[in-house]
């Protein structure tokens, strides 16, 4: 009996030992498998491509018609809400002809009320006075009001867009096609920087009385205070208008006019990567080119054109009255109220090869990209409404961007010159300006850095103090270039953004 019990205990112990051994082997095998299992590489997160809409720019001396700056000026671009300048041009025509008054009421249709923001938000069946409609387009860039203007003047927005295109042709805007009155996204609605400089000059030249509305800073309507999207008004000396614009496909656009000491320039920037970048580029273009503009001259965009004065340009409501009322302007000649007196011939300018005009019904062979590479701010219409609600940033700096070229000094002059550098610099640098005040020199560097994108991402801004013959200047420079071609490439980018610069050895 005791023997049986002993044997049984021995069997239990042996069995338990075998189970423990097998379990140990299994655990060891699993652990080894986990250690030897190949690790998965961490998933790569795709980086969104930087937002880079197609860029174009142009600056024209309005006194002489001379081109002062041009980049991609004949390339097709989407105008976005800069479109509304042409909408207002046609509205101003009706005011000037007496067919509408500033207190005339425009009716809001169901279609107009349904337009995407930015908008004023009026209900179908309501009305708005013409003067309030003008201010709503200039400040809020209201798409519903733009549509209403088109419908009231032409019966439908489509008919009004066709009229806009005809008017563009009559002004010499040979590559512009309009499909709506607002600038809301449409792949066939295109223009060029060159065409828009013509429009900017024409609207000022023909309608000086109504152009002043583009200077409106704040529009008060129905208990709202609506600020102007154009942040250069009051921040850059001489700027008196005129219109901003944005869609995902167009980028940030700006049409600007500026006057200083008898000089007058109009400038276009299309395809800015942000509102701030666009504004900095425009500020640089104005500062750089204003000094090059003439202080006199009377160049006219209408000098070689025949005015399109068709009766079908009248509002639908007054077309039937034309036979009895008549038209004060002379068909087939310059409008008598547009040009007060004959103007002297414009100064000779370089004439580029003519561009093949686009026709209203023509298909565009090389359609511009309609979808952005990455998500952007709210794209329903003009997204600058969001920018208008943001706090006003610091004023754009107004330091001169005209660089002082190197002076070939005599040996005696070289000995008298002292140069103070606060940092060690690379073999090649970029110089933008030489200022009598260090603060202004730093302002130039700040503006250039903000507008340059990646071109100066690794460059280091610095000022270099120069004392020569009792005069002290501060050079505005960027270090960070080991080779001449890299410095020159970055300088080319800055020039395309409106900054004067040159690459030089340090």
Binding site membership for substrate: which residues?
243
Q: Rounded to whole angstroms, how far apart are CA atoms 186 and 161?
A: 12
Tokens 């590479």 correspond to what residue? 373
**Catalytic-role residue among 84, 119, 206, 442:** 84
Q: Rounded to whole angstroms, how far apart are CA atoms 351 and 364?
A: 25
Tokens 């204003």 correspond to what residue? 290
Specify burial of residue 309 (Cβ count, 10 A radius: 0-12, 13-18, 19+). Answer: middle
Q: What is the dihedral of CA 138, 51, 58, 139, to 10 degrees?
A: 10
**Catalytic-role residue among 141, 250, 400, 443:** 141
Of 222, 176, 210, give the one whose Cα is nearest residue 83. Answer: 176
Of 282, 283, 270, 265, give the one whose Cα is nearest residue 66. Answer: 265
Q: Rounded to whole angstroms, how far apart are CA atoms 269 and 256?
A: 9
The CA radius of gyration of the chain, in Å to the nearest whole number, is 33
Q: Which DSSP state fits 361?
A: T
Q: Rounded to whole angstroms, how far apart are CA atoms 503 and 486?
A: 9
Residues that constitute the known binding site? 243
Assess whether 506 carries a catalytic annotation: no
Q: Rounded to whole angstroms, how far apart are CA atoms 164 and 176?
A: 9
Specify burial of residue 49 (Cβ count, 10 A radius: 0-12, 13-18, 19+). Answer: exposed
Q: Are 269 and 286 in contact (CB under 8 A)?
A: no
Q: Are 153 and 347 in contact (CB under 8 A)?
A: no
Q: Which phi and psi (to 5°) does residue 458 adopt? A: -105, 5
Q: Which DSSP state fits 437?
A: S
Assess whether 81 carries a catalytic annotation: yes
**Half-sphere exposure (CA, 13 Å, Cβ side) for 265?**
27
Q: What is the largest CA-CA distance in the chain?
A: 139
Q: Rounded to whole angstroms, how far apart are CA atoms 409 and 14?
A: 104
Assess whether 109 carries a catalytic annotation: no
Of 482, 472, 392, give the one whose Cα is nearest residue 440. Answer: 472
Number of neighbouring beta carbons within 10 Å of residue 26: 10
Of 303, 382, 472, give the one whose Cα is nearest residue 143. Answer: 382
Q: Are 183 and 245 in contact (CB under 8 A)?
A: yes
User: Would you state the structure tokens that stand for residue 229, as one six-digit string?
Assistant: 């999207």
User: Would you state the structure tokens that stand for residue 215, as one six-digit string?
Assistant: 């200077």
Catalytic residues: 81, 84, 141
């Amino acid at each position: 009996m005791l023997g049986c019990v002993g044997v049984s205990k021995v069997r239990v112990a042996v069995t338990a030992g075998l189970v423990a051994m097998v379990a140990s082997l299994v655990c060891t095998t699993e652990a080894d498998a986990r250690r030897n299992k190949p690790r998965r590489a961490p998933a790569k997160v795709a980086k969104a491509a930087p937002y880079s809409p197609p860029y174009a720019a142009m600056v024209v001396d309005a006194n002489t018609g001379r081109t002062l700056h041009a980049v991609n000026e004949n390339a097709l671009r989407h105008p976005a809400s800069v479109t509304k300048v042409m909408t207002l041009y046609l509205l101003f025509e009706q005011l000037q002809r007496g067919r509408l008054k500033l207190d005339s009421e425009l009716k809001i249709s169901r279609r107009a009320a349904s337009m995407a923001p930015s908008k004023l938000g009026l209900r179908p069946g309501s009305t708005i006075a013409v003067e309030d409609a003008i201010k709503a387009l200039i400040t809020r860039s209201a798409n519903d009001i733009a549509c209403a203007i088109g419908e009231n003047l032409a019966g439908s927005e489509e008919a009004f867009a066709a009229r806009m295109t005809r008017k563009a042709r009559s002004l010499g805007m040979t590559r512009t096609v309009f499909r709506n009155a607002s600038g809301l996204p449409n792949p066939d609605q295109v223009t060029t920087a060159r065409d828009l400089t013509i429009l900017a000059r024409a609207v000022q030249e023909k309608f000086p009385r109504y152009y002043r509305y583009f200077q409106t800073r704040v529009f008060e309507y129905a208990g709202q205070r609506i600020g102007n999207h154009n942040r250069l008004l009051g921040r850059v000396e001489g700027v008196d208008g005129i219109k901003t614009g944005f869609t995902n496909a167009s980028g940030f656009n700006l049409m600007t006019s500026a006057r200083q000491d008898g000089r007058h320039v109009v400038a276009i920037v299309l395809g800015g990567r942000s509102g701030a970048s666009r504004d900095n580029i425009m500020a640089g273009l104005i500062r750089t080119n204003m000094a090059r503009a003439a202080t006199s001259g009377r160049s006219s965009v209408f000098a070689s054109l025949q005015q399109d004065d068709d009766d079908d340009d009248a509002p639908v409501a007054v077309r039937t009255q034309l036979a009895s009322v008549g038209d004060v302007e002379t068909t087939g000649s310059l409008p008598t109220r547009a040009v007060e007196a004959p103007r002297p011939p414009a100064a000779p300018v370089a004439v580029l090869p003519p561009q093949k005009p686009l026709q209203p019904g023509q298909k565009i062979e090389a359609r511009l990209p309609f979808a952005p590479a990455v998500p952007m701010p709210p794209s329903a219409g003009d997204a600058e409404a969001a920018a208008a609600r943001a706090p006003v940033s610091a004023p754009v700096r107004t330091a001169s961007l005209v660089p002082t070229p190197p002076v070939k000094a005599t040996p005696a002059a070289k000995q008298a010159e002292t140069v103070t550098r606060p940092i060690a610099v690379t073999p090649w640098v970029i110089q933008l300006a030489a200022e009598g005040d260090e603060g202004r020199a730093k302002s130039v560097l700040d503006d250039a850095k903000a507008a340059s994108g990646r071109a100066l991402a690794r460059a280091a801004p610095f000022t270099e103090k120069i004392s020569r013959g009792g005069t002290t200047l501060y050079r505005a420079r960027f270090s960070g270039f080991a080779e001449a071609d890299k410095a020159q490439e970055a300088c080319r980018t800055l020039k395309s953004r409106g900054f004067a610069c040159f690459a030089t050895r340090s």
